[in-house]
Every structure is written in structure tokens, then in C-alpha cells.
């Protein structure tokens, strides 16, 4: 049993890299270098598009189930065992629906907006460090790039709101703008706090720097405070409840995507879930050590068992944990009013973040971190 | 200084109340298996029992001798706000004693007009009708919704009128 599992594990995770290399080798033997490079990128792009679609479908199902359990319901149960194929049915329904464009909409911008959102999300997704060397796009300004790209999505939301020629859409989009402009500060500052420890913006190096232990444990109080602040601000940045003002159902029907239907609506919907995934990715990379297993000091046996679990599983487990936290927030707390939202950011999160940054700088200066 | 203290106590109180809320929902989440309220309706038909005060339809219980408790006094007919109940009664002679006596021919109940208000139940002086728990009333023809509640050949239970 153990041997079989270890063989399967080796096939799946340790052979992933040789597999990729062999594909690359095959490309280079059959095509000219330029074509091989191009085709390689096309393959990687296709893989990430697949990840995007599957991630969206799975997350929608998980979200619905988790929400149901929080409210003592069963959730989707009819399509497939335990409703597992419900989201696939939903996706097919959305594909078959008529894409309606309002008469007075700005047609070009209206059709462009969903692609802005999806492209921004996909660009962020490309940086996901699934495992050691298992990362499509590992640039040295990774974290900075992530922050920059994740705020491009709001351009799509603003475009969608403005181009729909609908009051609800416009109000939702404007709220989203105000929200992102505010909470981007907190996201950035809490990450800057951690950068004092990691000393690098490259995601793979950030993870390598946690070889001896995850930053949330080694960084004392300021790291933990930064983690909490990041999760709060990250939840707000993805427009999820309790910060889902841009699409507050009870006030704005569906906010900025009121007028969208069919595939274009699906883009917004999936992008929201993948954005949540990205926030969880950043949190688990910077605070929880990415694909690094959990180690406890000198407990060699314990550490060996932890090492046995492959890195990608560690990574996805941590991401799942953060996403569960965010779902827990969403299904517990009531939605904030817009003034409460801005008060929370400008009067509480931002000053706390700044103080926390100074504290962390002091900790690093005194070399108090482990 | 007071304002600073208030600022931090606000944060502390906010975090504390949020965590209280999360503890409640977290308890629900992790105990979902035994606390879930939702029932899977068509599958659980065999075990499904509606709660005691559920009002599904008006029924007239009969005992094993095909006897009911309705004297035909029409109090329920008067009490019904929608005219869902029509009692057709007669004074035909009793086949056994030969005496002429008021008794019901048909207790007509129009389910299609009934709002399940339940006013007929307390109006009945002899407790002849009760609220049933069946709620699957869908039929293909509305004439099927007009029901005769007393079973054919049924008679008044002895001793109800005393």
C-alpha cells in the first residue's frame, strides 16, 4: 500500500518536472527554436486557461456547499452525487444563454470589460507557485507585479459599470473603485511589512526564505497582525462579502454586472472566484510558506512525515485554508455600509498597518525574528 | 487620551464581537452533519411527518365501523369564510329505527377554495373534522379538488348527539 502510494506520488509530483522537460525537448527536436518557444508558451497558456476554468467551477461548488453548511442547509444535491456536477450544468447553461447588450450601452467598452477582468486575473494566476520550480512565470518583482495586476481588474469593473448605461451598474462600479483604491493601500502595506523579512519580491525566493519556518510563526506579533490585516484587506479587494458592496444584491440587483448575461457574466463570476484564489495564494506564499512543509524544530520523525506530503498539496492545502477563512467571513458577517467600509480602511486598517510596519522594521533591526 | 483609549477599545470590542459571530457559524459548519435542517423531499416521503400544527386539508375521521361524528349542524359551513364547506343534509327515515332524523348526505369540501385558515375546526361542536397533514394536492382536473368527506354508507357514531 505504502509502496503504491509512494509510486503514485512520485509519478504525480516528482515526475511533473521531467515530464515538462521532456515535452520541451520534444518541441525542440521537432520545431525550430523560435517555434518551439512559441508553442511552449501556447501550451502553458492553455494549461493556465484550463486551471482558470476548473478552479472557477470547483470554487463555485465549494462556496455553495460551504455556505449551505454554515446555514445548516444541504446546498446543491440534485445534479450528480452530492451535487458535484451542478456547476458544470450551470456553466453549460451560461454558454447557451443569449448575450444581451442593452440598446444604449457603449458596445465596444461593454464587450471589452469582461476581458479586462479575466485578463488581469489570468496574469496574476500565471505567478502561482504551485510547487518547487512549478511556476510558469517567476519574475524577480513577482509580488509587485501581482499587486499591480490585481488592481487592473478594477478597470474592467469600472468599464462594465459605465458602459452598461444602467444606474445600478454605475453605482456598483463607483463603489468598487472607491473600495479598491482604499484597500489596495492596506494590502500593499501589509505585504511591505513582510518584505522586510523576506528581503525579496520574487515569489520563489520568498518561499525559500521560509525554509526554517513560516513567517507567520517566525515574525512575532507584527507578522501575525500583518496576516490578519492582509486577509481583511484582501477580502475587501476581491469584492467579497462582507465587503461585496459593488454587487450588493439587495440594493443594486447585481451591481456592475447587472446587464451582463451568458458567457460575459460567467467571466465576471469566475474571475471573482479566481481572484479570491489569488489572494489566498499571496497569503499562503508570504505568510504560510507556500509549498514548504510544516516543520517543528528538531523533531526529525515529525518533519520526515511532513516532508512526505508533496509540496503542491501543502500549497493547495494552505490556499484552501485561507479561502475557507474568507468564506467563513462572508457567511458570518453582515455587509458593511459604504461609509463604514471607508471608515474601517482609513481610520483603522491603515494606521494599524503603518504602526505595524514601523514595529516590524524595529523587530528586523534588532534581529528579534527567529 | 480618552479618545485614544476609545479607539483601541473599539478595535478590541469589534474583533471580539466578530469572533463571537464566527464561533457561532463555525459551530454550525463543523456540526452540520447532525444539525442540518434541510430534508430531501421526494426521497424522504416514507419517513416524512409534518409538524403537529400543520394544516394541509380538512378531513373527517371515521372509525372502524365506518362511523363519523358529524351531526350536520352546519356550524363549520357558517364559520368558513370562503364557502369551502357545503353540507347537504336530509331528514330521510333511519333504515333501522324508521324514525325521521337529520343527518348528512354529503359533506362537500372544496379544497380549491380552502385557505387552510382552520376556523371550521374549533367551530365544530362534536369534533367531527380535523386538519389533515397531507400537502400533495396537485391534480390534473380541478373537479377532483371537490371532495366528499363522509365515506359512502357511513353513519353517525352513536352517542355523539347526547
Report pLDDT digits (tens) over B30-68: 887 787 888 888 888 888 888 888 998 899 998 888 888
Closest Cβ–Cβ partner in B25, B35, B40 for A332: B25
Residues of B with CB under 8 A from a CB of A: 11, 18, 21-22, 24-26, 28-29, 32, 35-38, 40
Interface check for A331 against chain B (CB to CB < 8 A): the answer is: yes
Chain B contact set for A71 (CB, 8 A): 28
The CA distance from A303 to the nearest CA of chain B, in Å, is 28
Q: Which residues pair with B90 in a beta bridge?
A: B103
Q: Exposed e or buried b for every residue in A230-260, given b needs 16+ CB within 10 A?
A: bbbbbbbbbbbbbbbbbbbeeebebbbbbbb
Q: What is the pLDDT of residue A1?
A: 47
Q: What is the pLDDT of residue A57?
A: 87
Interface check for A324 against chain B (CB to CB < 8 A): the answer is: no
- Tell if the CB–CB gap between A69 and B38 is shorter than 8 Å: no
Residue B148: count of CB within 10 angstroms of its CB = 13
Q: What is the pLDDT of residue B108?
A: 92
Report the complex ipTM: 0.72
The CA distance from A8 to the nearest CA of chain B, in Å, is 32
Mean pLDDT of chain B: 87
d(CA A143, CA A189): 12
- Is B160's pLDDT higher than 70? yes
Closest CA relative to residue B80, chosen from B144, B112, B142, B123 = B123
A154 and A183 Cβ atoms separated by less than 8 Å: no
- Tell if the CB–CB gap between B38 and A72 is shorter than 8 Å: yes
Q: What is the pLDDT of residue B81?
A: 92
pLDDT tens per residue, chain A (370 residues)? 455 555 555 555 555 666 777 777 788 788 777 887 788 788 888 888 888 888 888 888 999 988 888 888 888 888 888 888 888 898 888 888 888 888 888 888 888 888 888 888 888 888 888 877 777 777 888 888 888 888 888 888 888 888 888 888 888 888 888 888 888 888 989 988 888 888 888 888 888 888 777 888 777 788 888 898 999 888 888 888 788 877 767 777 777 788 888 888 888 888 888 888 888 999 998 888 878 777 777 777 777 777 777 778 888 888 999 999 888 988 888 888 888 888 888 888 899 899 999 988 888 888 777 6
> What is the DSSP code string of A117-138?
HHHHHHHHHTT---BTTB-S--
Nearest CA in chain B to A74: B38
Q: Is the peptide bond before A242 cis (omega within 30 degrees of 0)?
A: yes
The CA distance from A241 to the nearest CA of chain B, in Å, is 14
Chain A contact set for B3 (CB, 8 A): none
| A367's grid cell | 534581529
Domain boundaries, chain A: 100-365
Q: What is the pLDDT of residue A239?
A: 81
Chain B contact set for A328 (CB, 8 A): 22, 25-26, 29
The one-character DSSP state at A294 is P
- Tell if the CB–CB gap between A328 and B22 is shorter than 8 Å: yes
User: Who contacts B89 (Cβ-Cβ below 8 Å, separation ≥6)?
Assistant: B72, B74, B102, B103, B104, B105
Which long-range contacts link B17-20 to residues 24+ away (Cβ below 8 Å)? B18/A332, B18/A333
- Tell if the CB–CB gap between B40 and A77 is shorter than 8 Å: yes
Q: What is the pLDDT of residue B109?
A: 92
- Is B84's pLDDT higher than 80? yes
Interface check for A355 against chain B (CB to CB < 8 A): the answer is: no
d(CA A117, CA A156): 5
Closest CA relative to residue A326, chosen from A52, A67, A56 = A67
The CA distance from B41 to the nearest CA of chain A, in Å, is 11
- Is B140's pLDDT higher than 90? yes
Domain boundaries, chain B: 2-38, 57-156
Q: What is the pLDDT of residue B90?
A: 85
Interface check for A72 against chain B (CB to CB < 8 A): the answer is: yes
B79 — pLDDT class (breaks 50, 70, 90): very high
Cα A336 to chain centroid, rounded: 22
Q: From start to end of chain A, where are the E strands?
A: none
CATH number for the B57-156 domain, one of 3.30.70.3270, 1.10.630.10, 3.40.1000.10, 3.40.50.300?
3.30.70.3270
d(CA A252, CA A239): 14
- Tell if the CB–CB gap between A71 and B40 is shorter than 8 Å: no
d(CA B18, CA B146): 55
A200 and A244 Cβ atoms separated by less than 8 Å: no
Angle at A101 between CA A100 and CA A103, to 5 degrees: 130
Chain B contact set for A352 (CB, 8 A): 11
Q: What is the pLDDT of residue B73?
A: 87
d(CA A106, CA A346): 34
The CA distance from B139 to the nearest CA of chain A, in Å, is 25
Residue A262: is it exposed, middle or buried by C-beta count within 10 angstroms (0-12/13-18/19+)? Answer: middle
Cα A314 to chain centroid, rounded: 16
- A vs B, Cβ pairs < 8 A, gives 38
The CA distance from B51 to the nearest CA of chain A, in Å, is 19
Nearest CA in chain A to B21: A332
- Tell if the CB–CB gap between B40 and A72 is shorter than 8 Å: no
| B71's grid cell | 351531526
Q: What is the pLDDT of residue B110?
A: 92
Amino acid at each position: 500500500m505504502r509502496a503504491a502510494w509512494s509510486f503514485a506520488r512520485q509519478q504525480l509530483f516528482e515526475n511533473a518536472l521531467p515530464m515538462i522537460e521532456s515535452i520541451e525537448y520534444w518541441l525542440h527536436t521537432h520545431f525550430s527554436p523560435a517555434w518551439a518557444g512559441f508553442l511552449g508558451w501556447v501550451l502553458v497558456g492553455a494549461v493556465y486557461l484550463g486551471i482558470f476554468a476548473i478552479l472557477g467551477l470547483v470554487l463555485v461548488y465549494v462556496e455553495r456547499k460551504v455556505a449551505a453548511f454554515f446555514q445548516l442547509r444541504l446546498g446543491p444535491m440534485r445534479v450528480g452525487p452530492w451535487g458535484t456536477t451542478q456547476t458544470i450544468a450551470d456553466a453549460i447553461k451560461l454558454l447557451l444563454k443569449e448575450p444581451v447588450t442593452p440598446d444604449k450601452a457603449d458596445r465596444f467598452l461593454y464587450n471589452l470589460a469582461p476581458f479586462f477582468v479575466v485578463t488581469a486575473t489570468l496574469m496574476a494566476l500565471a505567478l502561482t507557485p504551485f510547487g518547487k520550480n512549478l511556476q510558469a512565470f517567476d519574475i524577480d518583482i513577482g509580488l509587485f507585479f501581482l499587486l499591480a495586476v490585481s488592481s487592473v481588474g478594477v478597470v474592467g469593473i469600472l468599464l462594465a459599470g459605465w458602459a452598461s448605461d444602467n444606474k445600478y451598474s454605475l453605482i456598483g462600479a463607483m463603489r468598487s473603485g472607491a473600495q479598491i483604491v482604499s484597500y489596495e493601500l492596506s494590502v500593499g502595506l501589509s505585504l511591505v511589512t513582510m518584505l522586510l523579512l523576506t528581503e525579496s519580491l520574487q515569489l520563489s525566493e520568498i518561499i525559500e526564505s521560509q525554509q526554517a519556518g513560516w513567517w507567520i510563526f517566525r515574525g512575532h506579533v507584527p507578522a501575525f497582525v500583518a496576516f490578519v490585516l492582509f486577509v481583511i484587506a484582501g477580502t475587501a479587494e476581491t469584492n467579497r462579502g462582507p465587503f461585496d458592496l459593488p454587487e450588493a444584491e439587495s440594493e443594486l440587483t447585481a451591481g456592475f454586472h447587472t446587464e451582463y448575461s451568458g458567457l460575459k457574466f460567467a467571466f465576471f463570476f469566475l474571475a471573482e472566484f479566481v481572484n479570491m484564489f489569488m489572494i489566498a495564494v499571496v497569503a499562503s506564499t508570504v505568510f504560510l510558506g507556500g509549498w514548504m512543509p510544516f516543520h517543528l524544530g528538531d523533531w526529525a520523525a515529525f518533519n520526515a512525515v511532513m516532508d512526505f506530503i508533496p509540496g503542491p498539496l501543502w500549497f493547495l492545502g494552505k490556499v484552501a485554508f485561507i479561502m475557507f477563512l474568507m468564506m467563513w467571513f462572508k457567511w458570518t458577517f453582515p455587509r458593511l455600509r459604504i461609509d463604514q467600509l471607508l471608515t474601517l480602511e482609513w481610520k483603522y486598517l491603515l494606521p494599524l498597518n503603518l504602526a505595524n510596519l514601523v514595529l516590524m522594521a524595529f523587530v528586523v533591526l534588532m534581529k528579534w525574528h527567529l | 487620551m480618552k479618545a485614544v483609549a476609545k479607539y483601541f477599545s473599539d478595535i478590541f470590542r469589534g474583533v471580539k464581537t466578530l469572533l463571537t459571530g464566527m464561533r457561532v457559524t463555525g459551530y454550525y459548519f463543523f456540526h452540520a452533519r447532525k444539525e442540518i435542517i434541510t430534508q430531501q423531499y421526494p426521497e424522504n416521503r416514507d419517513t416524512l411527518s409534518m409538524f403537529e400544527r400543520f394544516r394541509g386539508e380538512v378531513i373527517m375521521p371515521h372509525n372502524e365501523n365506518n362511523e363519523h361524528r358529524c351531526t350536520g349542524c352546519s356550524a363549520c359551513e357558517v364559520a368558513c369564510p370562503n364557502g369551502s364547506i357545503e353540507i347537504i343534509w336530509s331528514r330521510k327515515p333511519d333504515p333501522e329505527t324508521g324514525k325521521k332524523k337529520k343527518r348528512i348526505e354529503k359533506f362537500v369540501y372544496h379544497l380549491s377554495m380552502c385557505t387552510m385558515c382552520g376556523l371550521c375546526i374549533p367551530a365544530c361542536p362534536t369534533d367531527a373534522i380535523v386538519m389533515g397533514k397531507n400537502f400533495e394536492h396537485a391534480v390534473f382536473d380541478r373537479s377532483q379538488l371537490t371532495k366528499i368527506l363522509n365515506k359512502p354508507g357511513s353513519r353517525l357514531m352513536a352517542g355523539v348527539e347526547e
